[in-house]
Amino acid sequence: MTRLVVVGADAAGMSAASQARRGLGPDELEIVAFERGHFTSYSACGIPYWIGGLVESRDDLVARAPEVFRDEYRIDVRLRHEVTAIDLDRREVVARDLEGGGEVREHFDQLVYAAGAVPVDPPWAETSAAGVFGVQTLDDGSALRAWLDGAPRPRRAVVVGGGYIGVEMAEALIRRGLSVTLVERGPQPMSTVDPDMAVLVRDALVGLGIDVRTGVSVTGLTARDGRVASVVTDAGDLPADVVVLGLGVRPNTALARRAGLPVGPTGGIRVDLRMRVMGVDGVWAAGDCVQTVHRLTGQAVHLPLGTHANKQGRVAGINIGGGYATFPGVIGTAVTKVCELEVARTGLRERDATAAGYEFVTVKVESTNRAGYFPGADPMTVKLLAERRSGLLLGAQIVGRSEAAKRIDPLAVALWNQMTVEEMTGLDLGYAPPYAPVWDPVLIAARKAVEALSRG
Protein backbone atom coordinates (compact mmCIF):
# COMPACT_ATOMS: atom_id res chain seq x y z
CA MET A 1 0.00 0.00 0.00
CA THR A 2 1.17 3.53 -0.82
CA ARG A 3 1.35 6.07 2.00
CA LEU A 4 0.72 9.77 1.46
CA VAL A 5 1.72 12.27 4.16
CA VAL A 6 0.35 15.82 4.01
CA VAL A 7 2.02 18.71 5.84
CA GLY A 8 -0.69 21.31 6.49
CA ALA A 9 -4.40 20.47 6.61
CA ASP A 10 -6.03 23.60 5.27
CA ALA A 11 -7.09 24.53 1.72
CA ALA A 12 -4.26 23.14 -0.41
CA GLY A 13 -3.36 20.17 1.79
CA MET A 14 -6.86 18.81 2.25
CA SER A 15 -7.83 19.52 -1.35
CA ALA A 16 -4.87 17.36 -2.36
CA ALA A 17 -5.70 14.65 0.18
CA SER A 18 -9.40 14.42 -0.65
CA GLN A 19 -8.75 14.46 -4.41
CA ALA A 20 -6.12 11.73 -4.08
CA ARG A 21 -8.67 9.70 -2.11
CA ARG A 22 -11.17 10.01 -4.98
CA GLY A 23 -8.58 8.46 -7.25
CA LEU A 24 -7.37 5.71 -4.91
CA GLY A 25 -9.39 3.92 -2.23
CA PRO A 26 -8.31 3.14 1.35
CA ASP A 27 -6.97 -0.26 0.27
CA GLU A 28 -4.62 1.40 -2.19
CA LEU A 29 -3.63 4.65 -0.49
CA GLU A 30 -3.16 5.45 3.18
CA ILE A 31 -3.28 9.18 3.96
CA VAL A 32 -1.95 10.95 7.07
CA ALA A 33 -2.37 14.73 7.41
CA PHE A 34 -0.56 16.82 10.04
CA GLU A 35 -1.94 20.19 11.18
CA ARG A 36 -0.42 22.31 13.94
CA GLY A 37 -3.69 24.20 14.57
CA HIS A 38 -7.13 23.18 15.80
CA PHE A 39 -8.99 23.30 12.46
CA THR A 40 -9.02 21.86 8.96
CA SER A 41 -10.27 23.36 5.68
CA TYR A 42 -11.43 26.73 6.89
CA SER A 43 -11.84 30.15 5.27
CA ALA A 44 -9.07 32.39 6.53
CA CYS A 45 -10.49 35.09 4.26
CA GLY A 46 -13.66 35.07 6.37
CA ILE A 47 -11.91 35.83 9.67
CA PRO A 48 -12.33 39.64 9.50
CA TYR A 49 -16.06 39.22 8.89
CA TRP A 50 -16.38 36.94 11.93
CA ILE A 51 -14.37 39.39 14.03
CA GLY A 52 -16.63 42.22 12.86
CA GLY A 53 -19.84 40.31 13.56
CA LEU A 54 -21.02 39.86 9.97
CA VAL A 55 -20.46 36.10 10.34
CA GLU A 56 -22.15 34.81 13.46
CA SER A 57 -20.18 31.70 14.34
CA ARG A 58 -16.58 30.60 13.96
CA ASP A 59 -17.90 27.21 12.87
CA ASP A 60 -19.43 28.85 9.80
CA LEU A 61 -15.90 29.38 8.48
CA VAL A 62 -15.03 25.67 8.59
CA ALA A 63 -15.78 23.97 5.27
CA ARG A 64 -15.03 20.42 6.49
CA ALA A 65 -14.34 19.40 10.05
CA PRO A 66 -11.63 16.82 10.86
CA GLU A 67 -14.33 14.23 11.62
CA VAL A 68 -15.59 14.48 8.05
CA PHE A 69 -12.17 13.73 6.63
CA ARG A 70 -11.65 10.88 9.07
CA ASP A 71 -15.05 9.23 8.67
CA GLU A 72 -15.99 9.92 5.05
CA TYR A 73 -12.58 10.18 3.37
CA ARG A 74 -10.65 7.76 5.57
CA ILE A 75 -7.90 10.34 6.11
CA ASP A 76 -5.93 10.18 9.36
CA VAL A 77 -6.04 13.84 10.37
CA ARG A 78 -3.77 14.70 13.32
CA LEU A 79 -4.49 18.11 14.75
CA ARG A 80 -2.05 19.97 17.00
CA HIS A 81 0.88 18.15 15.42
CA GLU A 82 3.69 20.36 14.15
CA VAL A 83 6.00 18.86 11.56
CA THR A 84 9.56 19.66 12.62
CA ALA A 85 11.61 17.77 10.05
CA ILE A 86 11.39 16.07 6.67
CA ASP A 87 14.01 13.43 5.89
CA LEU A 88 14.01 12.86 2.13
CA ASP A 89 16.63 10.11 2.30
CA ARG A 90 14.67 8.05 4.83
CA ARG A 91 11.31 9.19 3.35
CA GLU A 92 10.19 10.17 6.82
CA VAL A 93 8.33 13.05 8.48
CA VAL A 94 8.96 13.98 12.12
CA ALA A 95 6.16 15.76 14.03
CA ARG A 96 5.77 17.04 17.58
CA ASP A 97 2.52 16.48 19.47
CA LEU A 98 1.80 19.98 20.80
CA GLU A 99 -0.71 18.80 23.41
CA GLY A 100 0.13 15.23 24.29
CA GLY A 101 3.86 15.70 24.11
CA GLY A 102 6.35 13.45 22.44
CA GLU A 103 7.41 12.94 18.87
CA VAL A 104 6.02 10.82 16.05
CA ARG A 105 7.69 9.61 12.87
CA GLU A 106 5.77 8.66 9.75
CA HIS A 107 7.11 7.03 6.62
CA PHE A 108 5.87 8.36 3.29
CA ASP A 109 5.91 7.22 -0.32
CA GLN A 110 4.33 10.47 -1.48
CA LEU A 111 4.50 13.81 0.34
CA VAL A 112 2.42 16.97 -0.07
CA TYR A 113 4.00 20.11 1.40
CA ALA A 114 1.17 22.59 2.02
CA ALA A 115 2.48 24.64 4.93
CA GLY A 116 0.96 27.89 3.66
CA ALA A 117 2.41 31.29 4.44
CA VAL A 118 3.57 33.07 7.57
CA PRO A 119 3.07 36.74 8.45
CA VAL A 120 5.80 39.25 7.73
CA ASP A 121 6.78 40.31 11.24
CA PRO A 122 9.54 42.93 11.47
CA PRO A 123 11.88 42.94 14.48
CA TRP A 124 9.89 45.67 16.25
CA ALA A 125 6.87 43.33 16.37
CA GLU A 126 8.76 40.77 18.49
CA THR A 127 7.29 41.51 21.90
CA SER A 128 6.10 39.63 24.95
CA ALA A 129 3.34 42.20 25.51
CA ALA A 130 -0.19 40.84 25.26
CA GLY A 131 -2.60 42.37 22.77
CA VAL A 132 -0.56 42.13 19.54
CA PHE A 133 -2.06 39.87 16.88
CA GLY A 134 -1.57 38.59 13.37
CA VAL A 135 -4.61 37.24 11.56
CA GLN A 136 -3.22 34.40 9.47
CA THR A 137 -5.06 31.36 10.86
CA LEU A 138 -8.38 30.61 12.50
CA ASP A 139 -6.47 30.08 15.75
CA ASP A 140 -5.14 33.65 15.35
CA GLY A 141 -8.67 34.92 14.81
CA SER A 142 -9.90 33.06 17.88
CA ALA A 143 -7.18 34.61 20.02
CA LEU A 144 -8.01 38.11 18.77
CA ARG A 145 -11.74 37.57 19.31
CA ALA A 146 -11.08 36.44 22.89
CA TRP A 147 -8.97 39.54 23.54
CA LEU A 148 -11.66 41.85 22.18
CA ASP A 149 -14.31 40.15 24.32
CA GLY A 150 -12.15 40.05 27.45
CA ALA A 151 -11.71 42.46 30.33
CA PRO A 152 -10.77 45.19 30.27
CA ARG A 153 -12.42 45.73 26.90
CA PRO A 154 -10.04 47.33 24.38
CA ARG A 155 -11.12 50.77 23.22
CA ARG A 156 -8.28 51.85 20.90
CA ALA A 157 -6.96 49.75 18.03
CA VAL A 158 -4.02 50.30 15.72
CA VAL A 159 -3.84 48.30 12.49
CA VAL A 160 -0.39 48.23 10.91
CA GLY A 161 -0.45 47.69 7.16
CA GLY A 162 -2.98 48.80 4.57
CA GLY A 163 -3.30 45.69 2.42
CA TYR A 164 -6.28 43.34 2.20
CA ILE A 165 -6.05 42.14 5.80
CA GLY A 166 -5.33 45.61 7.13
CA VAL A 167 -8.33 47.36 5.59
CA GLU A 168 -10.66 44.44 6.32
CA MET A 169 -9.57 44.30 9.96
CA ALA A 170 -9.85 48.09 10.31
CA GLU A 171 -13.47 47.86 9.20
CA ALA A 172 -14.12 44.89 11.50
CA LEU A 173 -12.78 46.77 14.53
CA ILE A 174 -14.79 49.89 13.69
CA ARG A 175 -17.88 47.68 13.54
CA ARG A 176 -17.09 46.50 17.06
CA GLY A 177 -17.07 50.07 18.29
CA LEU A 178 -13.33 50.60 18.71
CA SER A 179 -11.46 53.75 17.80
CA VAL A 180 -9.22 52.63 14.92
CA THR A 181 -6.02 54.03 13.43
CA LEU A 182 -4.62 52.47 10.25
CA VAL A 183 -0.89 52.98 9.68
CA GLU A 184 0.53 52.46 6.19
CA ARG A 185 4.14 53.12 5.20
CA GLY A 186 3.23 53.79 1.55
CA PRO A 187 1.46 56.82 0.11
CA GLN A 188 -1.94 55.06 0.01
CA PRO A 189 -3.54 51.92 1.45
CA MET A 190 -4.33 49.03 -0.91
CA SER A 191 -1.15 48.98 -2.98
CA THR A 192 -2.67 46.05 -4.88
CA VAL A 193 -4.30 48.70 -7.08
CA ASP A 194 -2.79 51.81 -8.64
CA PRO A 195 -2.51 54.94 -6.46
CA ASP A 196 -5.26 56.79 -8.32
CA MET A 197 -7.65 53.96 -7.45
CA ALA A 198 -6.28 53.45 -3.93
CA VAL A 199 -7.16 57.03 -3.02
CA LEU A 200 -10.82 56.03 -3.38
CA VAL A 201 -10.23 53.30 -0.80
CA ARG A 202 -8.59 55.79 1.55
CA ASP A 203 -11.59 58.11 1.23
CA ALA A 204 -13.92 55.22 2.13
CA LEU A 205 -11.84 54.32 5.20
CA VAL A 206 -11.86 57.91 6.39
CA GLY A 207 -15.60 58.00 5.79
CA LEU A 208 -15.98 55.09 8.19
CA GLY A 209 -14.26 57.10 10.91
CA ILE A 210 -10.88 55.36 10.59
CA ASP A 211 -7.84 57.55 11.21
CA VAL A 212 -5.66 56.72 8.19
CA ARG A 213 -1.95 57.58 8.57
CA THR A 214 -0.01 57.10 5.31
CA GLY A 215 3.69 57.66 4.75
CA VAL A 216 4.27 56.60 8.35
CA SER A 217 6.67 53.87 9.48
CA VAL A 218 6.29 51.89 12.69
CA THR A 219 9.48 51.55 14.72
CA GLY A 220 8.38 49.86 17.93
CA LEU A 221 5.79 49.02 20.57
CA THR A 222 5.48 50.03 24.20
CA ALA A 223 3.84 48.06 27.00
CA ARG A 224 2.32 48.70 30.40
CA ASP A 225 1.65 45.95 32.96
CA GLY A 226 2.35 43.29 30.34
CA ARG A 227 -0.15 44.68 27.82
CA VAL A 228 0.51 46.70 24.69
CA ALA A 229 0.16 50.42 25.36
CA SER A 230 1.18 52.19 22.15
CA VAL A 231 2.62 51.88 18.67
CA VAL A 232 5.78 53.93 18.14
CA THR A 233 6.10 55.56 14.72
CA ASP A 234 8.39 58.07 13.05
CA ALA A 235 5.49 60.54 13.33
CA GLY A 236 4.76 60.02 17.02
CA ASP A 237 3.24 57.44 19.35
CA LEU A 238 -0.26 56.02 18.83
CA PRO A 239 -2.08 54.77 21.97
CA ALA A 240 -3.37 51.22 21.54
CA ASP A 241 -5.16 48.58 23.59
CA VAL A 242 -4.92 46.13 20.70
CA VAL A 243 -2.59 45.99 17.69
CA VAL A 244 -3.31 44.02 14.53
CA LEU A 245 -0.46 43.32 12.12
CA GLY A 246 -1.37 43.27 8.44
CA LEU A 247 2.06 43.57 6.85
CA GLY A 248 1.63 40.79 4.33
CA VAL A 249 2.89 37.23 4.25
CA ARG A 250 5.78 35.20 2.90
CA PRO A 251 5.94 31.52 1.92
CA ASN A 252 6.33 29.19 4.88
CA THR A 253 9.36 27.36 3.57
CA ALA A 254 11.79 27.17 6.49
CA LEU A 255 11.09 23.46 6.93
CA ALA A 256 11.27 22.87 3.18
CA ARG A 257 14.63 24.64 2.94
CA ARG A 258 16.07 22.52 5.75
CA ALA A 259 14.88 19.41 3.93
CA GLY A 260 16.60 20.52 0.72
CA LEU A 261 13.53 21.34 -1.35
CA PRO A 262 14.22 23.92 -4.09
CA VAL A 263 13.08 27.47 -3.42
CA GLY A 264 12.69 30.07 -6.14
CA PRO A 265 13.40 33.82 -6.30
CA THR A 266 10.02 34.68 -4.76
CA GLY A 267 10.80 32.58 -1.69
CA GLY A 268 8.23 29.96 -2.71
CA ILE A 269 8.90 26.31 -3.48
CA ARG A 270 9.62 25.60 -7.15
CA VAL A 271 7.08 23.24 -8.70
CA ASP A 272 6.23 22.13 -12.22
CA LEU A 273 2.85 22.36 -13.93
CA ARG A 274 1.62 19.24 -12.12
CA MET A 275 2.65 20.68 -8.72
CA ARG A 276 5.59 18.29 -8.36
CA VAL A 277 8.54 19.76 -6.50
CA MET A 278 11.24 20.13 -9.10
CA GLY A 279 13.97 17.53 -8.92
CA VAL A 280 12.51 15.65 -5.93
CA ASP A 281 10.74 12.38 -6.65
CA GLY A 282 7.40 11.79 -4.97
CA VAL A 283 7.16 15.23 -3.34
CA TRP A 284 4.46 17.76 -4.20
CA ALA A 285 3.73 21.26 -2.99
CA ALA A 286 0.69 23.52 -3.24
CA GLY A 287 -0.84 26.69 -1.83
CA ASP A 288 0.70 29.78 -0.31
CA CYS A 289 4.11 28.12 0.10
CA VAL A 290 4.78 27.76 -3.66
CA GLN A 291 5.72 30.14 -6.41
CA THR A 292 3.85 30.05 -9.68
CA VAL A 293 3.97 31.75 -13.08
CA HIS A 294 2.16 34.90 -14.14
CA ARG A 295 0.46 34.17 -17.45
CA LEU A 296 1.07 37.64 -18.84
CA THR A 297 4.72 38.20 -18.02
CA GLY A 298 5.94 34.62 -17.72
CA GLN A 299 7.70 35.63 -14.51
CA ALA A 300 7.74 33.76 -11.22
CA VAL A 301 5.31 35.23 -8.69
CA HIS A 302 4.00 34.52 -5.21
CA LEU A 303 0.28 35.27 -4.99
CA PRO A 304 -1.15 33.80 -1.77
CA LEU A 305 -4.87 33.45 -2.45
CA GLY A 306 -7.31 30.76 -1.38
CA THR A 307 -8.53 30.31 -4.94
CA HIS A 308 -5.06 29.29 -6.10
CA ALA A 309 -4.44 27.08 -3.06
CA ASN A 310 -7.58 25.01 -3.64
CA LYS A 311 -6.88 24.62 -7.36
CA GLN A 312 -3.24 23.70 -6.82
CA GLY A 313 -4.15 21.17 -4.14
CA ARG A 314 -6.73 19.62 -6.45
CA VAL A 315 -4.16 19.35 -9.26
CA ALA A 316 -1.64 17.65 -6.97
CA GLY A 317 -4.30 15.26 -5.64
CA ILE A 318 -5.48 14.26 -9.10
CA ASN A 319 -1.92 13.41 -10.12
CA ILE A 320 -1.21 11.51 -6.91
CA GLY A 321 -4.46 9.58 -7.43
CA GLY A 322 -3.40 8.37 -10.84
CA GLY A 323 -4.94 11.05 -13.05
CA TYR A 324 -3.43 13.92 -14.98
CA ALA A 325 -3.88 17.62 -14.30
CA THR A 326 -1.87 20.82 -14.59
CA PHE A 327 -2.00 24.26 -13.00
CA PRO A 328 -1.81 26.89 -15.76
CA GLY A 329 -0.58 29.89 -13.78
CA VAL A 330 -2.24 33.01 -12.42
CA ILE A 331 -3.25 36.53 -13.43
CA GLY A 332 -3.82 37.91 -9.93
CA THR A 333 -7.59 38.36 -9.79
CA ALA A 334 -8.76 39.45 -6.34
CA VAL A 335 -11.63 41.31 -4.70
CA THR A 336 -12.33 42.80 -1.28
CA LYS A 337 -14.66 45.28 0.39
CA VAL A 338 -14.40 48.24 2.74
CA CYS A 339 -17.86 48.66 4.23
CA GLU A 340 -20.01 49.39 1.16
CA LEU A 341 -17.04 50.00 -1.13
CA GLU A 342 -15.92 47.11 -3.34
CA VAL A 343 -12.38 46.83 -4.72
CA ALA A 344 -11.28 44.47 -7.49
CA ARG A 345 -8.26 43.90 -9.70
CA THR A 346 -6.90 41.48 -12.28
CA GLY A 347 -3.72 41.35 -14.33
CA LEU A 348 -1.04 44.02 -14.15
CA ARG A 349 -0.93 47.36 -12.38
CA GLU A 350 0.89 50.25 -14.03
CA ARG A 351 4.14 49.53 -12.18
CA ASP A 352 3.89 45.82 -13.05
CA ALA A 353 3.41 46.55 -16.74
CA THR A 354 6.32 49.01 -16.73
CA ALA A 355 8.59 46.52 -14.97
CA ALA A 356 7.66 43.85 -17.52
CA GLY A 357 8.65 46.16 -20.38
CA TYR A 358 5.22 46.88 -21.83
CA GLU A 359 4.24 50.15 -23.46
CA PHE A 360 0.61 50.72 -22.64
CA VAL A 361 -2.27 53.12 -22.43
CA THR A 362 -4.58 53.55 -19.46
CA VAL A 363 -8.18 54.70 -19.32
CA LYS A 364 -10.46 55.35 -16.39
CA VAL A 365 -14.23 55.69 -16.69
CA GLU A 366 -17.06 56.50 -14.31
CA SER A 367 -20.28 54.57 -14.69
CA THR A 368 -23.07 52.96 -12.64
CA ASN A 369 -23.99 49.43 -11.69
CA ARG A 370 -27.55 49.82 -13.03
CA ALA A 371 -29.46 52.06 -15.38
CA GLY A 372 -29.08 55.56 -13.99
CA TYR A 373 -32.83 56.00 -13.56
CA PHE A 374 -33.27 52.71 -11.68
CA PRO A 375 -33.45 52.80 -7.86
CA GLY A 376 -30.18 51.81 -6.21
CA ALA A 377 -27.93 52.89 -9.07
CA ASP A 378 -24.45 53.37 -7.56
CA PRO A 379 -21.26 54.76 -9.10
CA MET A 380 -18.16 52.78 -9.95
CA THR A 381 -14.76 53.57 -11.43
CA VAL A 382 -13.23 51.16 -13.96
CA LYS A 383 -9.59 51.38 -15.05
CA LEU A 384 -8.04 49.39 -17.90
CA LEU A 385 -4.48 48.94 -19.14
CA ALA A 386 -3.93 47.91 -22.78
CA GLU A 387 -0.72 47.21 -24.66
CA ARG A 388 -0.01 50.03 -27.07
CA ARG A 389 1.06 47.90 -30.06
CA SER A 390 -1.42 45.01 -29.96
CA GLY A 391 -4.31 46.39 -27.94
CA LEU A 392 -4.19 43.37 -25.64
CA LEU A 393 -5.81 43.87 -22.26
CA LEU A 394 -3.07 43.90 -19.62
CA GLY A 395 -4.95 44.69 -16.43
CA ALA A 396 -8.13 46.03 -14.89
CA GLN A 397 -9.18 47.59 -11.60
CA ILE A 398 -12.63 48.48 -10.28
CA VAL A 399 -13.65 50.51 -7.25
CA GLY A 400 -17.33 51.08 -6.59
CA ARG A 401 -20.32 50.23 -4.51
CA SER A 402 -22.90 47.47 -4.88
CA GLU A 403 -22.35 45.00 -7.75
CA ALA A 404 -19.03 46.54 -8.75
CA ALA A 405 -16.43 43.97 -7.67
CA LYS A 406 -17.72 40.94 -9.54
CA ARG A 407 -17.58 42.85 -12.80
CA ILE A 408 -13.87 42.04 -12.63
CA ASP A 409 -14.74 38.48 -13.67
CA PRO A 410 -15.53 39.14 -17.37
CA LEU A 411 -12.38 41.26 -17.48
CA ALA A 412 -10.38 38.37 -15.97
CA VAL A 413 -11.83 35.99 -18.57
CA ALA A 414 -10.93 38.42 -21.36
CA LEU A 415 -7.40 38.78 -20.01
CA TRP A 416 -6.99 35.02 -19.49
CA ASN A 417 -7.96 34.44 -23.14
CA GLN A 418 -5.70 37.20 -24.47
CA MET A 419 -8.44 39.40 -25.86
CA THR A 420 -7.82 42.86 -27.23
CA VAL A 421 -9.85 45.78 -25.99
CA GLU A 422 -11.26 46.05 -29.51
CA GLU A 423 -12.59 42.51 -29.26
CA MET A 424 -13.99 43.26 -25.82
CA THR A 425 -16.22 46.06 -27.17
CA GLY A 426 -18.33 43.36 -28.80
CA LEU A 427 -18.80 41.17 -25.72
CA ASP A 428 -22.42 40.05 -25.43
CA LEU A 429 -23.00 41.01 -21.80
CA GLY A 430 -26.36 40.84 -20.09
CA TYR A 431 -28.55 43.92 -19.86
CA ALA A 432 -31.61 44.87 -17.87
CA PRO A 433 -32.12 48.16 -15.97
CA PRO A 434 -31.94 46.47 -12.50
CA TYR A 435 -28.57 44.90 -13.35
CA ALA A 436 -26.67 47.15 -15.75
CA PRO A 437 -26.93 50.22 -17.93
CA VAL A 438 -27.42 49.52 -21.63
CA TRP A 439 -23.67 50.07 -22.01
CA ASP A 440 -22.11 48.03 -19.21
CA PRO A 441 -19.16 49.71 -17.45
CA VAL A 442 -16.89 46.97 -18.83
CA LEU A 443 -17.91 47.83 -22.39
CA ILE A 444 -17.59 51.57 -21.83
CA ALA A 445 -14.05 51.11 -20.51
CA ALA A 446 -13.09 48.86 -23.44
CA ARG A 447 -14.45 51.40 -25.91
CA LYS A 448 -12.50 54.20 -24.23
CA ALA A 449 -9.34 52.10 -24.37
CA VAL A 450 -9.79 51.61 -28.11
CA GLU A 451 -10.13 55.37 -28.52
CA ALA A 452 -6.96 55.94 -26.47
CA LEU A 453 -5.05 53.49 -28.66
CA SER A 454 -6.25 55.18 -31.83
CA ARG A 455 -4.80 58.47 -30.59
CA GLY A 456 -1.40 56.81 -30.50
**Cβ(443)–Cβ(437) below 8 Å:** no
What is the rounded radius of gyration, in angstroms, for the C-alpha atoms of the chain? 23
CA 407 – CA 387 distance, rounded (Å): 21
Angle, CA of 181, 146 and 131, to the nearest 5°: 45
Is 45 an annotated catalytic residue? Answer: yes
The conformation of residue 421, written as its DSSP 8-state character, comes to: H
DSSP 19-57: HHHHHS-TTTEEEEEEESSS-SSB-GGGHHHHHTTSS--
What is 358-411 written as a DSSP string?
--EEEEEEEEESS-TTSTT--EEEEEEEEETTT-BEEEEEEEESTT-GGGHHHH
> Beta-carbon neighbour count of residue 391 at 10 Å?
20
The torsion angles phi and psi of 313, rounded to 5 degrees, stand at -60, -40
**Active-site residue, selected from the candidate residues 2, 23, 38, 45:** 45
Question: Vertex 176, ends 172 and 177: CA angle to 5°?
Answer: 120
Distance from C-alpha of 182 to C-alpha of 383, rounded to nearest angstrom:
26
Instruction: Tell me the one-letter amino acid at 178.
Output: L
CB neighbours of 244 closer than 8 A, spacing ≥ 6? 133, 134, 135, 144, 157, 158, 159, 160, 166, 169, 173
Catalytic residues: 45
